[in-house]
Chains A and B, each alone.
Chain A
Amino acid sequence: MKVTFWGTRGSLASPSPETVRYGGNTSCVSVEGSEGTLIVLDAGTGLRNLGQSLRADLKRVHILLTHLHMDHIQGLPFFAPLRRPGVEVHLWGPASTTMSLNARLQKYLSPPLFPVSVRELSADLHFHELPAQLIEIGEFSINAQLIIHPNPTIGYRIQCADTALTYMPDHEPALGERTFPREKEWTSGYALAEGADLLIHDAQFTEEEYQNRVGFGHSSIRQAFQFAELTRVKHFAPFHYDPTHTDDELDFVFAETMAELQPSYGVTPSREGLSLEVVC
């Protein structure tokens, strides 16, 4: 599967000369299978550029939302295929006990927050609520499970034959832990990430920042590396960078963390435009 990063930033789009290497768009990753299936992970502002890059004859796309915080859905109305009649767009996202996924997305996709409402989009829209049992999309088998982040949030494990990609952009597995990591059984996200070929994981804060942001639903960069070690992944891509972190600061923290922790797995910090081939 080909994994491409269209937005790597967390919380708020942050374009600036100081974020140009890692990127300023918010969460969006595309996953293309060998048989042509296209899956999009989250619909942050990076989704607009992805939409511009897709073939005009695209027939079907699946957008898997981890949750409905603004930085994960803001690109949705700017996704070109949504305005094309005949394109099947499947939107997957967390269930609520009170409102449908469609109704919750309409809170944003309706005036006065946005001038165009969901029903005005030309594409053939399908909504699917999660978590469900194993989902089969084309050549992919997908496991969706709740993970620790404010408001129900889903992590995904996307499997193709024996190859697995795990995506958890907003995740605080260290919440409530006096020492982290501890037992696998009691660690949020463990089952999704165990032995994955590629883990894309929240790396929002520095250690110092995390001390004052416990409960915000994010990990420190150090915790993300520790989580990758605990789950024995083969490759780790830090993701969802804090909007205040410049390229130089991220370079420094990654170098410092890797020197200290000596990870046993490969590390490629995610950056906008980067493509990784995960072999199925």
Chain B
Amino acid sequence: MSQQEIEVILARHLAEYLAMPIFIVNPDGDLIFYNEPAEAILGSRYNETGMMPASEWSTVFHPMDHEGNPIPPQELPLVIALTQHCPAHKIFWIRGLDGTMREIEVTAFPLIGQAERFLGGIAIFWEITK
């Protein structure tokens, strides 16, 4: 397996030290890391899920709107960040891998490295507790 880009390595280091849930994907959209706070919301440890293609992570958590309608992958903030290379934000519901429904607020942005290298995307999310 080849080495990750340096900006991605540093992003993972930062994520490992932050208390905010963070989800990192590579330029192809493959999930390559999420941190411990994200594990609590997604309902599974990263060591258990491992790398996951976009087609899987964009549906496996069953994202849905406030009426319970499924949200298509192309409307998810991280997919927008990846495909349109711009930041995106959305509030929606997911069902964690532990079966628990949670309302989350997500901000995603593309990761652009030195020399305009597109390196993937990062999503930061918060669980909304009322």
Asked whether B9 lies within 8 Å of A131 as measured between CB atoms, the reply is no
Asked whether A176 lies within 8 Å of B16 as measured between CB atoms, the reply is yes
Asked whether B2 lies within 8 Å of A191 as measured between CB atoms, the reply is yes
Asked whether B12 lies within 8 Å of A95 as measured between CB atoms, the reply is no
Docked pose: A188 CA to B115 CA in angstroms:
18
State how many angstroms separate the Cβ of A175 from the closest Cβ of chain B. Answer: 7
Contact residues of B between 2 and 61, Cβ < 8 Å to A: 2-7, 9-10, 12-14, 16-17
Asked whether B6 lies within 8 Å of A186 as measured between CB atoms, the reply is no
Asked whether A131 lies within 8 Å of B3 as measured between CB atoms, the reply is no
Asked whether B10 lies within 8 Å of A185 as measured between CB atoms, the reply is no
Determine if A148 is an interface residue (Cβ-Cβ < 8 Å).
yes
Interface size for A (C-beta < 8 A) is 22
Asked whether A186 lies within 8 Å of B10 as measured between CB atoms, the reply is no
Docked pose: A189 CA to B9 CA in angstroms:
11
- Judged by DSSP, the binding face of A is loop
Asked whether A146 lies within 8 Å of B114 as measured between CB atoms, the reply is yes
| Contacts known (A131-B115, A175-B13); A191 close to B3, Cβ less than 8 A | yes
Interface size for B (C-beta < 8 A) is 17
Determine if A184 is an interface residue (Cβ-Cβ < 8 Å).
yes
Residues on B with C-beta less than 8 A from A79 are none
Taking a contact as CB atoms closer than 8 A, the residue among A132, A147, A184 that contacts B6 in the complex is: A147
Residues on B with C-beta less than 8 A from A254 are none
Asked whether A187 lies within 8 Å of B115 as measured between CB atoms, the reply is no
State how many angstroms separate the Cβ of A146 from the closest Cβ of chain B. Answer: 4
Taking a contact as CB atoms closer than 8 A, the residue among B5, B7, B10, B114 that contacts A94 in the complex is: B114
Asked whether A176 lies within 8 Å of B17 as measured between CB atoms, the reply is yes
Asked whether B16 lies within 8 Å of A185 as measured between CB atoms, the reply is no
Taking a contact as CB atoms closer than 8 A, the residue among B3, B7, B14 that contacts A190 in the complex is: B3
Residue among B3, B14, B113 with most chain A CB within 10 A: B3
Docked pose: A190 CA to B2 CA in angstroms:
9
Residues on A with C-beta less than 8 A from B4 are 185-186
Asked whether B9 lies within 8 Å of A186 as measured between CB atoms, the reply is yes
Asked whether A95 lies within 8 Å of B115 as measured between CB atoms, the reply is yes
| Contacts known (A186-B4, A187-B3, A191-B3); A95 close to B13, Cβ less than 8 A | no
Given contacts A95-B114, A147-B6, A186-B4, 5 further A-B contacts (CB under 8 A): A184-B3, A186-B9, A187-B3, A190-B3, A191-B2
A-B contacts, 8 listed (Cβ < 8 Å): A97-B114, A146-B113, A148-B6, A176-B13, A184-B3, A186-B9, A188-B3, A189-B3
